[in-house]
Amino acid sequence: MRVAFRLVAVIAVCAGLGVVGAPVAGAADTQPPTAPSNVRVLAVTPDTVTISFTGSTDNVGLKWYVARVEGVRQQATTSPGGTQIGGLKSDTTYSLTVVAVDKAGNVSAPSAPVAAKTAKWTPPTNLRVTSVSGGTVSLAWDGSSNMPQAYRFLVYDAGRGEAVAWHSVTMQRLAPGTHVFTVKAMHSSGDLSPASSPVTVTVAPRGSDQTAPTAPQNAQVRMDEEAYDWITTWDPSTDNVDPAPVYDVLQEFGGDLFAVRYAVSGTTYRGQFSSAVRAVDQAGNRSAPTPSTLVW
């Protein structure tokens, strides 16, 4: 009985001290950090902006900051002294804000916005004609100085898409007349540089034929899963003079069509994905492009 009495007494004392029973939970942290301030732009390139800002304070502890670019990009950082935000478009003005996040996940009010304009890509330079023979014209150029690893280059004829290439191209069966070529560098993001300075080429007539072949029909593209490449097929075109017109395989970049392969014989092309096919006769007359249908 004495043991039981002592045990009851000890329990009563401990209860008075708050030791017995489930521990009392501390209040959850619901207080957000203060807003970051003094956001400023340190540097810009055509696809990045580097900012710094004055950090926040929090009653418990900060976890990180998030830089926001008008809903286009969000980037977490722990470095108020210098944070680079990438994946932006060139020659574009963005509004940037920063918020702080504490260890409980509370988010601060945003900082005051700051405007930043990305730089322009520089155009390719030294566009030049390296050879002309009938309807075959070759061009070469030097790359963009601030896009040293361009994804590819797009060649335009009087502002219309003509060919896609790397540093040089040979275009085939061009139509007779004057052609004004320019080149743009294409970034891996799809962003384009301004156009180069133009070069002008005159292609002499090759006979009197001015009638284009009929457009190819039933253009289809499918994946060869074993070889892991694309196969494009189409029905043959007809022409009033040329018994066997050839075909240009086109691919879309930046909303325009460009030749990725000239003068394909027959009605099958194996290689890159194709967006369209056009027929071309010996005189350089071109049919309208026929869009390719993807077949699974």
Per DSSP, the residues of 193-219 read: PPPPPPEEEEEPP-SS--PPPPPPEEE
Q: Is the pLDDT of residue 58 over 80?
A: yes
pLDDT tens readout for residues 152-186: 999 999 999 999 999 999 999 999 999 999 999 99
Q: Is the pLDDT of residue 9 over 60?
A: no
Least confident of 12-21, 157-166, 256-265, 280-289: 12-21
Domain assignments of the chain as residue spans, ordered by start: 37-117, 125-203, 217-294
Which residues, 6 or more positions from 228, have their beta carbon under 8 angstroms from its beta carbon? none
The residue ranking higher by pLDDT, 39 or 21, is: 39
Q: Is the pLDDT of residue 7 over 60?
A: no
Query: 37-117 with 217-294: one CATH topology?
Result: yes
Q: Is the pLDDT of residue 19 over 70?
A: no
pLDDT tens readout for residues 85-115: 999 999 999 999 999 999 999 999 999 999 9
Could you tell me the fold of the domain covering 37-117? Immunoglobulin-like (2.60.40)
Compute the mean pLDDT over every residue in the chain, rounded to the nearest whole number.
Answer: 91
How far is residue 90's CA from residue 86's CA, in Å, rounded to a whole number? Answer: 11
Extended beta strands in 29-124, E state: 37-44, 49-54, 62-69, 73-77, 83-85, 93-102, 114-117
Could you tell me the fold of the domain covering 125-203? Immunoglobulin-like (2.60.40)
Q: Is the pLDDT of residue 16 over 90?
A: no
CATH number of 217-294, picked from 3.30.200, 3.30.2420, 2.60.40, 2.40.160? 2.60.40
Residue 162 DSSP label: E
The pLDDT of residue 26 is: 56
Closest-CA residue to 191 (of 116, 123, 117, 250): 123
